[in-house]
Structure 1
Amino acid sequence: MSLSIFGFRALWSPYLILSLIIILGLYFMLTVVYRKRFKNSEPLKKVQAIQFTGSIIILYVIKGSPIDLLGHILFSVHMIQMAVLYLILPPIMMTGIPNWVWQSFINLPIIRPIFHFFTKPLIALILFNGLFSFYHVPIIFDTVKMNETLHVTYTAVLFIYAVFMWWPLVNKLPDQYQLNGLKKMGYVFAGGILLTPACALIIFADTPLYQTYADASSWLQSMSLCVPTGTLSNLNLSGPQLFTDMPVVEDQQLGGVVMKIIQEIVYGILLGQIFFQWFKKEQKDSDRINEEALKAFQNSKIHEPRPIK
């Protein structure tokens, strides 16, 4: 059966695309039109504009296109959404925001203590991975998926904690604590380990864990989050099996595998970048130290008293 039966609004989320266009417009107004009103502001770089615009496009594709609808039918697609939304999107969006904007935001009296606390590496790692794992506990997952307010709230909160988790890796503000190369590598390794139990629970389960993908009535209730109630009530649907031949357990296991593979790819690329940046910095420092030592040795030779003949 085709997804087109759910209608244009469910497939393309016009309200979301309108909201994202407004956000993008506000971004350019802040960073270009009204930039000079902020102290220490700098011109927007082309790469930053591309990164932020790209992140908005990715956000729409993941949460506003037919992929979002498909994510309510296939658990594996839902896990792809989760991986992109929390492991790929945040660093792209964050690096697209100029440092002076971050500085102005973080220095707000209300924000500063909160941001300082939740971006501490250990706290950020534990809270994000804890919330992610907590979300995939079956009873919690099904409850959230069947309630629009809970779903929107949990998604937003988890994204905020993903930003906190990514901050120690992308932060370049001079007055903010920054991890060095080896600590960054340890941070990434720890993140990969902490996410493993949730993926393992899903991969090795041999029975359906989530009623919103296995039970027809629960599935229909979860579908109401992205399909207008009027449209859904006019359709005679018996469950997600109408749209896929994949068994529920296989789809569930595939979802866990896909999530772990995407995480390994993202973290692997990140580790490579961190290692080469660290190695390059160490090489420069080593060259500088050798150069200074050579100059000091040469100067000592020049000022060395000559023996009297």
Structure 2
Amino acid sequence: MPISIFGFEALWSPWYFGFLVLITLLYFGVTIKWRHKFSGSEPLETKQALLFVSGMALIYLLKGSPIDLLGHITLTMHMVQMALLLLLAAPLIIMGIPSYLWQAFIKLPVINPLFMFFTKPLIALLLFSLFFSVYHLPLVFDFVKQDMLIHSIVSTLLFVSALLYWWPVVNNLEGMHKFHGLKKLGYLFGLSVLMTPACALIIFSTTPFYATYSDGDAWMQAMALCVPAGTLAQLNLSGPELFTNMSLIEDQRTGGITMKIIQELVFTVFIWLVFHEWLKNETANADEITAKVLQDRKEMAYYRHNGQ
């Protein structure tokens, strides 16, 4: 059965699209027209603008396009959605916002102590991995997916925890919690290890976990998160099996494998970037050391010559 039966609003979320466009326009207004209101402001770099717009476009693709609807039909698509949202969109948004704006935000009296505490690398790592794992416990997952308000709050907190996790990896602010060189590799590897048990539990289970994908009534409640109530009431649907050929257990295992694969791919890209940055810095330092040694030799030769 085609998903087009759910209608344009469910497929493309025009209100959500408008909201993200408004945020993007505000971003350009602040970083171009009103940037002089912030101390230490600098002209917006093309790279920053591209990163931010890419992050916002990815968020819409994952949360406002048919991918979001499919994420309520198959766990596989839900895992694709979660992996790209938390592991790719989050760092893109951080890197796309200029440092002076982050500085102004972090200096706010209420924000500063909380931000400085929750971006401590160990805290951020444990918080995000714990939040991700607890969210995918069947009891928690099914509860969250059947209430609009709770789902919105939990989804926002999960994304915020992803931002906190990525902060030590990609932020460029002086005096902030961050890693340099090979320590970043260990930090990224740490999350890979901590996410493995949740993925393994999903992959190797012999029974379907989630009622929102296996129970018709629970599934219909979950679908109400992205499909207007009036549209759902007109459709005579029994469950997600109408829209996919995969069995529940196949879908569940594929979802777990997909999450792990995407996570490893994203981390591979960031690890390569980290290694490239480290190698570049080491090369630069090597040139400085070589120059210093040559200068020392010249000075020694000079003193020897004058001594003679």
- TM-aligned CA deviation for residue 67 of structure 1: 0.9
Q: Any idea what the Cα deviations from partners look like across 1:74-97, whole Å, max 9, x if unmatched?
A: 110000000011001011111111
| Counterpart for residue 3 of structure 2 | 3
Is residue 264 of structure 1 aligned with residue 264 of structure 2?
Answer: yes
Q: Any idea what the Cα deviations from partners look like across 1:152-203, whole Å, max 9, x if unmatched?
A: 1110001001000000100111222331212111101111101101100000
Paired residues in the alignment total 308
| Counterpart for residue 105 of structure 1 | 105
Q: Which amino acid in 2 is paired with 1:62?
A: L
Is residue 275 of structure 1 aligned with residue 275 of structure 2?
Answer: yes
Q: How does 1:16-95 map to 2 (within 5 A)?
A: 16-95=16-95
Are the structure 2 counterparts of residues 299 and 85 from structure 1 closer, same or farther at C-alpha, using a change threshold of 3 Å?
A: same
Q: Which amino acid in 1 is paired with 2:19?
A: S
Q: Which amino acid in 2 is paired with 1:180?
A: H
Q: Any idea what the Cα deviations from partners look like across 1:233-268, whole Å, max 9, x if unmatched?
A: 111101111111110100000000000000001111
Is residue 158 of structure 1 aligned with residue 158 of structure 2?
Answer: yes
Between 292-301 and 182-191, the greater mean CA deviation after superposition: 292-301
Q: Which amino acid in 2 is paired with 1:51?
A: L
- TM-aligned CA deviation for residue 53 of structure 1: 1.2
- TM-aligned CA deviation for residue 204 of structure 1: 0.3
Are the structure 2 counterparts of residues 23 and 306 from structure 1 closer, same or farther at C-alpha, using a change threshold of 3 Å?
A: closer
| Counterpart for residue 232 of structure 1 | 232
Mapped partners of 1:180, 1:163: distance in 2? 18
Q: Secondary structure at the match of 1:304?
A: helix
Mapped partners of 1:4, 1:279: distance in 2? 50
Q: Secondary structure at the match of 2:7?
A: helix
- TM-aligned CA deviation for residue 3 of structure 1: 1.1
- TM-aligned CA deviation for residue 307 of structure 1: 5.6
Note the residue ranges of structure 2 that are not aligned, 5 or more in a row.
none
Q: How does 1:121-132 map to 2 (within 5 A)?
A: 121-132=121-132
| Counterpart for residue 185 of structure 1 | 185
Q: Secondary structure at the match of 2:304?
A: coil
Q: Which amino acid in 2 is paired with 1:241?
A: E
Q: Which amino acid in 1 is paired with 2:85?
A: L
Task: Say if 2:220 and 2:239, in contact at 8 Å, map to a contact too.
Answer: yes
Q: Which amino acid in 1 is paired with 2:115?
A: F
Mapped partners of 1:9, 1:197: distance in 2? 37
Note the residue ranges of structure 1 that are not aligned, 5 or more in a row.
none
Q: Any idea what the Cα deviations from partners look like across 1:41-81, whole Å, max 9, x if unmatched?
A: 00001111111111111111110111111110011000000
Q: Which amino acid in 1 is paired with 2:103?
A: Q
| Counterpart for residue 140 of structure 1 | 140
Mapped partners of 2:180, 2:47: distance in 1? 24
Mapped partners of 2:77, 2:149: distance in 1? 22
Are the structure 2 counterparts of residues 55 and 306 from structure 1 closer, same or farther at C-alpha, using a change threshold of 3 Å?
A: closer
- TM-aligned CA deviation for residue 119 of structure 1: 0.5
Are the structure 2 counterparts of residues 204 and 27 from structure 1 closer, same or farther at C-alpha, using a change threshold of 3 Å?
A: same
Are the structure 2 counterparts of residues 307 and 139 from structure 1 closer, same or farther at C-alpha, using a change threshold of 3 Å?
A: closer
The TM-score normalised by the length of structure 1 is 0.97
| Counterpart for residue 209 of structure 2 | 209
Q: Which amino acid in 2 is paired with 1:246?
A: M
Task: Say if 2:121 and 2:178, in contact at 8 Å, map to a contact too.
Answer: no
Q: Which amino acid in 1 is paired with 2:92?
A: I
Mapped partners of 1:222, 1:177: distance in 2? 38
Q: Which amino acid in 2 is paired with 1:60?
A: Y
List, as ranges, runs of 4+ consecutive aligned residues in structure 1 with deviation greater than 4 Å.
Answer: 305-308
Are the structure 2 counterparts of residues 207 and 295 from structure 1 closer, same or farther at C-alpha, using a change threshold of 3 Å?
A: same
| Counterpart for residue 15 of structure 2 | 15
Mapped partners of 2:159, 2:92: distance in 1? 13
Between 48-57 and 255-264, the greater mean CA deviation after superposition: 48-57
Mapped partners of 1:122, 1:175: distance in 2? 17
Mapped partners of 1:142, 1:114: distance in 2? 30
